[in-house]
Structures are given as C-alpha cells and as structure tokens.
Amino acid sequence: MSHPIIDFADVYFTYPDGKKAINGITFHVRHGESVGIVGANGAGKTSLLMLMTGLLLPIRGEVHVGGVPVAKKTLSVIRQKIGFTFQDPDDQLFMGTVYDDIAFGPRNYGVGEEEVKNRVMKAMEAVGVMHIKDRAPYKLSGGEKRGAAIAAILSMEPDILAMDEPTAALDPKARRKLIHLLKGFPYTKIIATHDLDMVLELCERTIVLKEGRIVCDGLSFQILSDAQLLEQWGLEKPLSLQRCPICGTKKE
C-alpha cells in the first residue's frame, strides 16, 4: 500500500477573531483518490482546503502533503505539489491577461519561457480557454474566470488538485465539460462542493464536515443515498438520486 499523499493528524484551526473553524480533524488520502468534501455552509470545507495548501496553518496538529509537513518554510514545495483553485476566482487571478495568470506559477518556479509557453498552451487547450488568453481576467464572466483559474493550476503540473466549488458559476454545458475533464485527470483530487451530483459522478469517496469535524467518511454512493443522514448534516440527496416529483421514477 502506498503512503498517504495527504495526511491530517488531529488538526485544529481557529481564526484570529476566535472562530473555531476546524476542531480535531484526522484523515488520509492516497495517491490517485478522488475525494469530495461536503457539508453545509460554514461547515469548514474552505478552511480545510486552506490548511491543506498552507494558506492557513494549524494551531494544533499536523498536515503533511506528499510526505512534507505543511509549514511556513515548506510552502514553496507544497505549492508545487498541490494546485488549489479558490472558491472565488477573483482571489486567484491578478495579472493583466489570462495568459500571464496561467504562466505565473511556472515562471515563478523558474521554468524556462519556452516550457512555460508549452504548459500554458496545454492547460488552456485542456480547459478550453484559448479564446480568452489575451483578455483581462477582471473583465471575464464568472464561468470564464473559473476556467482561467483551473488552467492556472494545471500549468503547474501538480500531483494533487484541490478545488473549492469548481462548478459554481458554470453553465450546465461548462459544468459537464469540467466534470469530463476532471474525470480524465490522473491526479489526486480533493473537491469541496455543494454540487453533490458532481461528487457522485467524480469522487468514489466523500468526507462530510459539520462544525469543523468529520461526521462521515466513506463511499460516496452510500453516503449520498442516505436521505436521513444527509438531512442531519444540512444536506439533501443529489438530484440524480431523487425520484421524479411527477412520475415517481428514479433517473437512470
């Protein structure tokens, strides 16, 4: 069995204003796993991803990514291993053009300009954002920004993708395209989301958070089929597992 690629050991985090967001979390993720992180608003999903990427550091406990402890002095190594897309793409895009935003990561890590260009082109092609490469990110629509933000982490060629609400602001066709794209990726994927249908389709495993604690960790299909449990956690069955309100049949 391979070593875990992500390892949380009894992690706690409190924001400076005293809000306890993560209250003793332990879990491991193995290479190549796809894990959905779900939970009601304020459950701690974003905080958890930020602890994984070193944007926040635990007040107690330890986080390891690819065997490296997440700490101030390892941040540069951690950021190469794990690509993170923010819940709000405006937090991620800050350059003058989409091209430069996607090139920023590899340039920052000293990749030569020829290789940077190859990576940017490959990432834009994969996500389908070639047509907006010369546009200013702040002038894009929500879905276009989301695409640019995803391409910006792919250009880093990370081992792990950590995504916060990747389907938010996407139209149905763009959402479908993103799910298809992510399905094809060999990376380890950690996806925090309210899009439970996407979790069902993309992630074999689901971790449910409530008030900064893991209340369930198991097979997505089992967890997401249990209406009673889901209700306790402030969630609902994915639409694809609900019966049609008119004819009572389930979606195939």
Tokens of residue 210, six digits: 């409530």
Report the residue number, 84 or 104, with the smaller CB distance to ligand ATP: 84
**DSSP state string for the chain:** -PPEEEEEEEEEEE-TTS-EEEEEEEEEEETT-EEEEE-STTSSHHHHHHHHTTSS--SEEEEEETTEE-SGGGHHHHHHHEEEE-SSGGGT--SSSHHHHHHHHHHHTT--HHHHHHHHHHHHHHHT-GGGTTS-GGGS-HHHHHHHHHHHHHTT--SEEEEESTTTT--HHHHHHHHHHHHH--SEEEEE-S-HHHHHHH-SEEEEEETTEEEEEEEHHHHHT-HHHHHHTT----GGGSBPTTT-PBP-
The whole-angstrom separation of Cα 151 and Cα 122 is 9
Question: Which residue, 3 or 19, is less far from Mg ion as judged by CB?
Answer: 19
Residue 46 lies near Mg ion (rule: CB under 5 A): yes
Q: Amino acid letter at 53? A: T
Q: 99 or 233, CB closer to ligand ATP?
A: 233
Q: Which does 183 bind (CB under 5 to 8 A by kind): Mg ion, ligand ATP, none?
A: none
Query: For binding to ligand ATP (CB under 6 A), which residues are involved?
Result: 15, 17, 19, 21, 39, 41-47, 87
Q: Is 206 in the site for Mg ion (CB under 5 A)?
A: no
State residue 38 phi and psi, 5-degree precision.
Answer: -125, 165
Token readout for 133 is 């490469």
| Least Cβ distance, residue 46 to ligand ATP (angstroms) | 3
Q: Looking at 44-52, 141-149, 208-216, 233-241, which segment touches Mg ion (CB under 5 A)?
A: 44-52
| Nearer CB in complex with Mg ion: 83/166 | 166
CB of 119 or CB of 145, closer to Mg ion: 145
Residue 185 contact among Mg ion, ligand ATP, none, beta carbon within 5 to 8 Å by kind: none
Query: Which region among 41-49, 64-72, 107-115, 235-243 touches Mg ion (by CB under 5 A)?
Result: 41-49
Least gap, CB of 164 to ligand ATP (angstroms): 7
Query: Which CB atom, from 107 or from 213, has the smaller least distance to ligand ATP?
Result: 213
* Structural contact between residues 7 and 63, judged by C-beta atoms closer than 8 angstroms: yes
Min. distance of Cβ 247 from ligand ATP in angstroms?
33
Residues 68-127 that bind Mg ion (CB under 5 A): 87
Q: Considering the rule CB under 5 A, would residue 53 count as an interface residue with Mg ion? A: no
Query: Which of Mg ion, ligand ATP, none interacts with 23 (beta carbon under 5 to 8 A by kind)?
Result: none
Stretch that binds Mg ion, among 5-13, 40-48, 183-191, 203-211 (CB under 5 A): 40-48
Q: Which positions touch Mg ion (CB under 5 A)?
A: 45-46, 87
